[in-house]
Amino acid sequence: MRYLIRFTNRDGYTSENRESIAERIREAVNNGTARAVNVRVAGPAVEFDLFADSEAEVRAAVTRLRPFGEILTVRRLDGTPPKLPPKEEVLHEARRLFNEERFWEVHETLEDLWRRESGAERDLLQGLILFAAAYVHQQRARYPRVLPVLERAMGKLRGSSLDRYGPFDLTLIRAKGESYLMSGQMTPFHLPD
């Protein structure tokens, strides 16, 4: 079984100290068949994937994580996928997750929509997915991958003449992306309602 686990980043970890918090998480969680992987650090939360063979192991791991911060998410990622909601719901959920710096979930949320689209809309969705993926690499302290993924995202986003895509302000996203490519630094920002 695979789970997404998130807890508050109460101690102010950054991607620069991702390795130290990842080691602490693994020491607390890795027990029996349970193991923590793919630790990502965002401003408001720390998140990772938990693999375990039983619900009891998941509950035990969550209990051992309580001293780290308030548990925000325990969500099973495998199993039967739910029916895909209408496009507008998916896009609003992805924007909400983006504003919460939950970039891995943005990627996952938009991916099912991307699979069912075609043409220019599919390319635009891929650009948004890649934009979120660049942040995921940053959260995992994989700095050499951030700008190449962002460049691919911008290639897709530049190809669209739209100013908005549902709740996504594409003009703002493109401006931020271009600025990040020039400066070499990505910082999270909020997408307006």
Whether 191 is covered by a domain: the verdict is no
Q: Do 176 and 99 belong to one domain?
A: yes
> Does 130 lie in the same domain as 156?
yes
Average pLDDT rounded to a whole number, residues 77-105: 92
pLDDT at 87 over 90: yes
CA 54 – CA 28 distance, rounded (Å): 17
Residues 94 and 119 occupy one common structural domain = yes
User: What do you get for the CA distance between the two ends of the chain, in Å?
Assistant: 35
What's the total number of domains in the chain? 2
Kindly indicate the confidence band of residue 83, based on its pLDDT and cuts at 50, 70 and 90. confident
Residue 153 pLDDT > 90, yes or no? yes
Task: Specify if 148 maps to a domain.
Answer: yes
Confidence of residue 80 (pLDDT cuts 50, 70, 90): confident
pLDDT of residue 95: 98
**Domain with 44 in it: what CATH number?**
3.30.70.260
* 49, 130: one domain: no
**pLDDT at res. 193:** 86
Q: Is 71 within 8 Å of 65 (Cβ atoms)?
A: yes
Q: What is the pLDDT of residues 13-72, one digit of tens each?
A: 999 999 999 999 999 999 888 999 999 999 999 999 999 999 999 999 999 999 999 999
Count, in order, helices (H) and strands (E) of the chain.
7, 6
The answer as to whether 145 is a domain residue is yes
Per-residue pLDDT at 164: 97
Q: Are residues 179 and 91 in the same domain?
A: yes
Contact 141, 15 (CB under 8 A): yes
In a shared domain, residues 91 and 57: no
Per-residue model confidence as pLDDT tens digits over 98-144: 999 999 999 999 998 999 999 999 999 999 999 999 999 999 999 99
State the residue range of the domain holding 113: 87-183
CA 173 to chain centre: 16
Looking at residue 31, the DSSP 8-state letter turns out to be B
Query: Is 192 domain-assigned?
Result: no
The one-letter code for the residue type at 90 is V
**Given 29, 55, 76, which residue is the final one in a domain?**
76
Q: Say what the pTM is.
A: 0.91
Are 16 and 65 found together in one domain? yes
Helix axes of 103-116 and 119-139: crossing angle, nearest 10 degrees: 160
Asked whether residue 190 is assigned to any structural domain, the reply reads no
161-193 pLDDT tens trace: 999 999 999 999 999 999 999 999 999 999 998
pLDDT of 32: 82
Residue 138 shares a structural domain with residue 170: yes
Structure tokens at 77: 């990622």
Domain boundary at 42, 76, 110, which? 76
Whole-angstrom distance, CA of residue 141 vs CA of residue 146: 9
| 106, 173: one domain | yes
Q: With H, G, I as helix, E, B as strand and everything else as coil, classify residue 152.
A: helix
Q: What is the pLDDT of residue 84?
A: 81
